[in-house]
Amino acid sequence: MPLSAYLSLAAVLFSIGLFGVITRRNTVGILLGVELMLNAVNINFVAFSRFHGTALGMIFTLFAICITVAEIALGLALVILLFRMRRTSTADHIDWLKG
């Protein structure tokens, strides 16, 4: 399969993730969207790694997965704290920065 197929898949996945981040009102849903976007990036890394015949992209992907796990843990912790303070996990209700 040509490289462009992998890249198109990644682009579609990224767009779905972005769409989820923008439209989801639930904070957990937003985090899931972020996950999708990161995985789209990982697909790109692996695809280029295969295409160029080097292992560098794979190693980078491993790092990215690790960081994603940490990020999710941190994100969920934030959601829980937010819920404790505001009794809600809906992102639209958290608008302290409203001008």
- List residues binding another protein (CB under 8 A): 18, 21-25, 30, 91-92, 94-99
**Nearer CB in complex with another protein: 26/49:** 26
**Nearer CB in complex with another protein: 1/97:** 97
Least spacing, CB of residue 2 vs another protein, in Å: 21
**Nearer CB in complex with another protein: 23/54:** 23
Q: What are phi and psi of 26, to 5 degrees?
A: -85, 135
